[in-house]
Structure 1
Amino acid sequence: MPILLFFVGHWYLSLFVQTFYLHRYAAHKMYTMNRFWERFFFGLTYAAQGSSFLSPRAYALLHRMHHAYSDTEKDPHSPHFSSNAFTMMWKTKNIYNSVLNNDYELAKRFEGDYPVWNLLERIGDNWKSRVGWGTAYVLFYVAFATAWWQYLLLPIHFLMGPIHGAIVNWSGHKYGYQNFDNNDKSRNSLFFDFLTGGELFQNNHHKLPMRVNFGVKWWELDPTYPVIWTLDKVGIIKLKRKVAAQEPERLAA
């Protein structure tokens, strides 16, 4: 039971910071927050992703490129230019590292307006930090695992952030239905998107990239949106009202 709780907790906490902080805040700035809360969620992102920490700056630039060049050869992680999800992940990793080191020319036009904390970024991207988090996961399993097969979950812990991204980008641009014609291959992959926190409503999101609620139809439930709505109501974040209320130009029948 402790292993299951740890795995599920790590999965959803890492997923939350990726969709709430890296995606909707760092990449799109769908809402604002003061410096204290920006640093708080920056730190939470580091703690939640641990060994697979993703730089908010690099994530934001890759994601902005993804929208600008969706499903073209310039898209950093379109599944339509990779033979499988693993080669797509490797390609994305290489582009991510180039962006992180300011060596990727295509990313430069998308610079600016993302959270920066240079010290924590250096710590999070340092191999000692990544190995340290990985060691902590292994020690937890040594203490609480009750069967050998449970150790097979460890690689998912090690690569949690990139795995979430791979699921969203591979599935969300290959499988499912489309509400809109976006001139790309984005799709809504799951009827109830509980495994990825709303991220698999890719077709909706590519049509309305500043809409906070990724669900469009009444039955499309974005589980992250109620959390964002609550944080806005208690004053931790401030939604940009015009984009929060953004409506689609047309809905599929």
Structure 2
Amino acid sequence: MSERAEAHHQHRDVAGGWLRPSVFGAMDGLVSNFALIAGVAGGTGDPGIIALAGVAGLAAGAFSMAGGEYVSVASQRELALREIKVEARELAHHPDEELEELARSFTDRGVDPALAAEVARQLSRDPEQALELHTRNELGMTPRDLPKPKVAAVSSFLSFGLGAALPLLPYLFGAVELWVSAVVSCLALFGAGAIVSAVTARSWWYSGLRQLVVGSVAAALTFALGHAIEGATL
């Protein structure tokens, strides 16, 4: 029965540390570089300058995203490790109080007090299992669920670079008009949003349109700013 239940009840990986930075990196790379290219195009018609700005935006953004994700996730991991050590110390120095606390967490969920006390006692015989139970109850994670800084950094770097490359590619292949990059970027924005819907509860068209609107508004405003600066300097 358990094998049949598992076969019909699968969950996606929500704690692997790769999804958020990958999605955020790709979206950020696509939107920010599209907006950057549009802003530069609004101020100059030189495709060489526009392409150079796009390459610089891709490189700077990818390294910035990777570094930022590594530091932030490493800090989050270090904080979690510190709190886990606090819980491990409590288990070592105050086992009776911690056992009572674990039993109380079961009774709070409706388990009979006598049964909760016995379950807590049996589960606490293994120190590693006891630590996992306490940290899950109190911190919402276990030592095995800790985020991985390197995974987050690499995911951010690659996904940002991929997203940022899309609005830049038309210029690298000889395009001289912004509308070519805009068409590619808008299609990519809608497609990226639609793909993200596969791991969320939103419909593909809603997610795609939302991303398209966000990216298009950002690019339009930056283009207007570039055009205004060009006009002011003439």
TM-score w.r.t. the length of structure 1 is 0.28
Name which one, 1 or 2, has greater alpha-carbon Rg: 2
Between the two structures, name the one with larger relative contact order (CA 8 Å, sep ≥ 6): 2
TM-score w.r.t. the length of structure 2 is 0.29
